[in-house]
Amino acid sequence: MVTCHGGHVQELSMVQQNLSGTLSPAIGRLRSLRSLSLRQNAISGPIPKTIGRMKLLHVLDLSNNQFSGSIPSTLGSMVNLRYLDISFNNLSGPRPTFRAWNAFLDGNPLLSDINCEGSESGVGTPLYGRSCSESLAFPAVGPEDTRKDDSRVMDKKIMILTVCIALGCSMVAMVAGAVILFRHWRQRQRVFSVAEVQHCREVSLGHLKHYKFKEIRKATDNFNIRNILGEGGYGIVYKGHFPGGTPIAVKRLKDHDSVIGDDQFHTEVEVISLAVHRNLLHLIGFCTANNERILVYPYMPNGTVASKLKEYVNGEPALDWPRRKRIALGASRGLLYLHEQCDPKIIHRDIKASNILLDDYLEAIVADFGLAKLVDHGMSHVVTTVRGTVGRIPPEYFLSGHASEKTDVFCFGLLLIELVTGRETLELHQNEYQKGGILEWAKELLAQNQLSSFADKKLRNNYDSVELEEMVQIALLCTMYSPKHRPRISEVVTMLEEGDGVAEKWEAMKNVEEPNPEDLKYQAIAINYYEDQCSSTELQAVELSGPR
């Protein structure tokens, strides 16, 4: 995908396109580029030093390729670089200092002087997925003469691509100018047509694509029900395909009667698009037409954690214990970025297994963040709106409608419970002896050293009992009644990464006075109400998403 603005290339994304050969130094000529993503290909050879000339670059993702040689020192001088991912390559030599807020270098076993202290942001950004001491084996790089031939071929391709893109962008700019002049003339003549209203306006929000409504309708086969991937409190998600076969996920937002205006919608969409992290679902485009508000995301082939927890592969659970731990860590890192590294910070308000997607490598991808404002802005300022799922709403949020970072921490604790038990929270609530008391049940089993009764039976005891106990303890710390007693998500990340502080915090929690479980009726009231409204045999997680 190539995105242009003002006759200049601003985004170049060629993810998983089976590209091979070497990356030409000519790439450095794209001086206006803001985002370059070439991940999941087979590109080899060195990373060109000329990339350092692209001073406007915000995002650089060269992960999961076969790049070799040392990391160019020029990458360390890129002042606007906010996200750098060169993990899982064959890089070697010293590790330069990066200005990027998030820098991922893991999966390069030959790199020296690697530390896990994070970036200059002041908040730790640990190397993703593995500790510094771990290593991976990669196939050897091809012979030198083959690389030179590949380099010459790639040079020609890059030069041709650059010229074509420049010419194409110039044509787009000219056409856009003509369209703008034509629309101004039509406005002055006060001539309007239904066809024009039903198409999205061509606007630019950085690297985001503003799709026409007819493009979205065609991609989803006119929003065919066969293409529905899921439905939640914010809208319906459809699978679609753009010309060329690129799969996408299209979220058609609900609450058409209270949608915000175009300008406010564009502002909120731009905020969402600035949240770029390995563990966050990246927004690639949007559409506005009449009361339609549509968001376009990349399609995640492995679905949600909630669905994957119920699957088997060759008689074994699709998510074994190590994968569940990695999902917990990945989701916590995505949440850490939203809370402490994203400006402005974003409160998710509905962290749960069905809102955590899985990419090709079964890595956790947090979805549905930043959506609350898109559907709540149109409501009266005196209306309190609760966005979340029954059975997993923190007490202070349910009672007051006020959400904070600790609201997300509470929901994350329940996500850990889901990963341990293999069942969704509302499903656990349906058992009579657990109703309204899942957390108390977990505490009792923990105190009695009987957590094997709490663990997912599909795991067949194939887990580390110490790790299981620590995860349950972290979950209970996150779900304490008072927000002030819950840890920050940065503390949760540290506990999941290293296990540090779990025992100390757990001992300290025993001295904290919490309300009697009998007083915690806010969840039970909501659950009982919705159980009355739903079929007892087909009860699903119900979204609380209307005004109170």
pLDDT tens readout for residues 160-192: 666 556 556 556 555 555 555 555 444 433 322
What is the secondary structure of 145-206 as a DSSP string? Answer: HHHHHHHHHHHHHHHHHHHHHHHHHHHHHHHHHHHHHHHHHHHHTT---HHHHTS-----BT
Residues 6+ apart with CB under 8 A from 82: 58, 59, 100, 101, 102, 276
pTM summary value: 0.61
Model pLDDT for residues 417-441, shown as the tens digit of each residue:
999 999 876 555 555 445 447 788 8
Is the torsion defined by CA of 175, 177, 181, 183 positive or negative? positive
Which residues of the chain are in CATH 3.30.200.20 domains? 196-298
Q: Which of 61, 150, 350, 368 is catalytic?
A: 350
Strand order across the 35-37 sheet: 2-5, 8-13, 35-37, 59-61, 83-85, 102-104
Q: How confident is the model at residue 386 (pLDDT cuts 50, 70, 90)?
A: very low
Mean pLDDT confidence for 450-465: 92
Check: CB of residue 271 under 8 Å from CB of residue 374.
no
Pure H helices in 401-464: 405-421, 425-429, 438-447
- The third-level CATH classification (topology) of the domain covering 305-376+385-544 is Transferase(Phosphotransferase); domain 1 (1.10.510)
Model pLDDT for residues 502-543, shown as the tens digit of each residue:
888 888 887 777 665 444 444 444 444 333 433 333 333 333
Q: What is the pLDDT of residue 193?
A: 26
pLDDT surpasses 50 at 199 = no
- Report the percentage of the chain scoring pLDDT > 90: 31
CATH code at 196-298: 3.30.200.20
Model pLDDT for residues 125-144, shown as the tens digit of each residue:
333 333 333 333 333 334 44
Q: Is 251 annotated as a binding residue?
A: yes
Q: What is the pLDDT of residue 111?
A: 82
- The third-level CATH classification (topology) of the domain covering 2-162 is 3.80.10
Average pLDDT, the chain: 74
C-alpha angle with apex 30: 28 to 31, nearest 5 degrees?
90
Residues 6+ apart with CB under 8 A from 27: 36, 48, 50, 51, 158
Query: Worst-scoring range by mean pLDDT, 270-284, 349-363, 369-383?
Result: 369-383
Strand order across the 66-69 sheet: 20-22, 42-45, 66-69, 90-94, 110-112
Helix (H) or strand (E) holding 39: none
Which residues of the chain are in CATH 3.80.10.10 domains? 2-162
Check: CB of residue 91 under 8 Å from CB of residue 70.
yes
Which residues of the chain are in CATH 1.10.510.10 domains? 305-376+385-544
Instruction: Please state the φ and ψ torsions of residue 367, each to the nearest 5 degrees.
Output: -115, 170
Q: How far apart are CA 423 and CA 419, in angstroms?
A: 8
**Would residue 464 show up in a list of annotated catalytic residues for this protein?**
no
Q: What is the pLDDT of residue 332?
A: 96
Query: Worst-scoring range by mean pLDDT, 79-83, 95-99, 446-450, 453-457?
Result: 95-99
Q: What is the pLDDT of residue 415?
A: 95
Max CA distance (Å), the chain: 79
